[in-house]
Structure 1
Amino acid sequence: MATLQRDASVRIPYAVQGEGPAILLINGATLPLGFWDPVVKRLASRFRVIRFDQRNAGASDFTGSFTLLDVAADIAALLTALEIERAVIVGHAWGGRVAQVFARDYPHRTRGLIVCGTGGQFPPDLDPAWLSAMGAARKAGERATWDDLLERIYCAPGYSLRDAAGFVATGDVIWNAPRVRGAKPDMRVAPSSSYWGTAMGPALLIYAEHDRFGTPANARDLSSRLPEARLEVLTGAGHLLVREQSERVVALVGDFMEALPVE
């Protein structure tokens, strides 16, 4: 892992793998860049794949508040440092919000936009008590209870049975993720109404049948607002679709990349 020092308070840990057209991956909230491992291993054989830890995740040591605009600016600085003029921007969950802000504010640097399971326009489809219970289990170190809630809230039913090793690996990434407790996102700046569906150019929307956060209502609405968008809904997947169906995600991203005009 390398580091870009933007200024005295902002240090961006990042990793680059592969050669070819550039793809930049943006994690979900508080998730480290390792969340993308199953996807990167396949994409890097054909593309130059960049991923980074946001200000409240992974190896970041940032403290203070930050906004979606700040993260978009971090991405622009990272691309500049890597001498990449344009990239396809891929965001999962919260990362899809960042991706849309980046595409809106830096259209000249956005070759294409891919949004995976991003909500924000419509409320989640779950009981908030489940999230509280999951947080309590994490704090108490009750991994078995936490795993049960992880699957119930974030995955398609039966994921742990269909792919036991994959479920455990996904849980490990999230359970062991460092928490940058001094960094707090300020959601008052750049609310969803300011960026939702504003991006221009080629777009791919990858959503999931059982996603409680990036719900079907979010998928349909975003698709209706982006004139060049293609919507794919994965059956048998939930909010963690990037891990649950990594092979399918890689195939969709690869097809999208290959269909773009050559630069």
Structure 2
Amino acid sequence: MAVISEPGTETETEADAAEAEAEAALLLPDLPLGRRIELPGRGTTFVREVPGPPGARTVVLLHGLTASGGLNWFQTFGALGRRYRVLAIDHRGHARGLRTRKRFTLADCADDVAALMEVEGVDPAIVVGYSMGGPIAQLLWKRHRDHVAGLVMCATSDRFLPGRREQLVFVTAMGAVAGTTRLGDVVTRLPVGWVQRQMPAGDRGRPDSFRRWARAEMRRHDWRLVAEAAASIGTYDSSRWIGDIDVPTTVLVTTEDKAVAPIDQARLALKIPTATMHKVRDGHVVCARPLFGGALRRAVDDTVSRLP
């Protein structure tokens, strides 16, 4: 299995990284337009799309817990869109995603993605899952194999640690990026020192323009469904069948992750016979960093290079 460390992430100085990040954070994200799509028999969801070059292969982006298609992937739309058609869905209960009285399940999210691909007439796609999106991508392969040409899994695993501290970090990670929300209200009741240790230094000083946008995304959540999503992640376990995945796969390991242990991410790559592993030196909210766009594009390119 090939292991690739992302160029620049190991040697870049902290000063250079901080300067680049501060410059990028001064502007609101340059997001692609989104639209609501009716999924027959399921409900209405929301998708952001980059059309890509004519005839480009489609990449479907599946976001993490408490995020949205925009919030999780805003650093990647430009890098991916130069080569691929990109679809980023809001999962049920998240932002503008599908609303339902049913209990949240990761399997239903996978079926939502399959329904979206059918409505859009998408050929088998490269499916990219981040954090919670990893299990959804895995289930999409298991339940709708014909829709999946290849996989990229970032900051995720085939099962998640049951410890209370790890679960809390996982649930609040995107809340730390966004600032104050209903989820942020929970964070404020925790010991100040502990909270500060979980929040990446670069995010605590983000300008209000970014904060306002991120808060607006998260205020749209249906928090009952988000809480149920957290419970679903806590009980998820695909270890019995993950080794059956037979499509080209790339696992992007976040080596400083406090929410999903890097060793568990690496084990995921080892369990999948078709997987290669890339590494990026950052934590669970690397998706908010400027470097993430290039890192993800290289991971997607790796998967595409191994397609039949």
Calculate the TM-score normalised by the size of structure 1: 0.80
Relative distance call for 1:254 and 1:130 in structure 2 (3 A) is closer
Aligned: 1:248 with 2:294: yes
For 1:150 and 1:23, how far apart are their aligned partners in 2? 35
- Cα drift, residue 166 of structure 1: 8.6
Q: Deviations over 1:56-80 (max 9, x none)?
A: 2011233331211111111111111
1:84 aligns with 2:127: no
**In 2 relative to 1, CA 66–181 (structure 1 residues): closer, same or farther, beyond 3 Å?**
same
Segment of structure 1 superposing worse, 186-195 or 15-24: 186-195
Q: Which residue of structure 2 lines up, in the alignment, with residue 47 of structure 1?
A: 84
Residue 205 of structure 1 aligns with an amino acid whose one-letter code is V
Alignment partners' CA distance in 1, 2:110 and 2:254: 25
Aligned partner letter, 1:83: G
Q: Which amino acid aligns with 1:248?
A: G
Offset at 1:193?
3.6
Q: How does 1:155-194 map to 2 (within 5 A)?
A: 155=200, 158-160=201-203, 165=206, 169=210, 173=214, 176-177=217-218, 178-183=220-225, 184-185=228-229, 187=232, 191-193=237-239
SS in 2 for 1:66: coil
- Is the CA contact 2:152–2:249 (under 8 Å) kept in the aligned structure 1? yes
Contact conserved, 2:127 with 2:151, CA < 8 A, in 1? Answer: yes
Distance 1:176 1:148 in 2: 27
Sequence identity, in percent?
A: 19
Which residue of 2 is the match for residue 117 of structure 1?
155
Per the TM alignment, residue 17 of structure 1 is displaced from its structure 2 partner at its CA by 1.0
CA contact (8 A) 1:23 1:50 kept: yes
* From 234, 242, 247, the counterpart of 1:201: 247
Match of 2:263 among 217, 220, 237: 217
In 2: Cα distance, 1:40 partner to 1:224 partner: 29
**Structure 1 gaps, min length 5:** none
How much has 1:167 moved relative to structure 2?
Answer: 11
Q: Give 1:45's aligned amino acid.
A: R
**Distance of 1:74 and 1:219 partners within structure 2:** 25
The answer to which of 112-121 and 184-193 deviates more is 184-193
Worse-matched range after superposition: 103-112 or 170-179? 170-179
> 2:61 — aligned with what?
25
Q: How many residues align?
A: 256
Amino acid at match of 1:66: F
Q: Is the 8 A contact 2:166 2:259 kept in 1?
A: no
Distance 1:159 1:230 in 2: 30
> Residue 207 of structure 1 contacts residue 214 of structure 1 at CA under 8 Å; is this kept in 2?
no
Q: State the 1:165 CA deviation.
A: 4.7
- Distance, in Å, in 2 between the alignment partners of 1:132 and 1:190 is 14
Distance 1:176 1:202 in 2: 33
Q: Name the TM-score, length of structure 2 as normaliser.
A: 0.70
Letter in 1 for 2:262: P
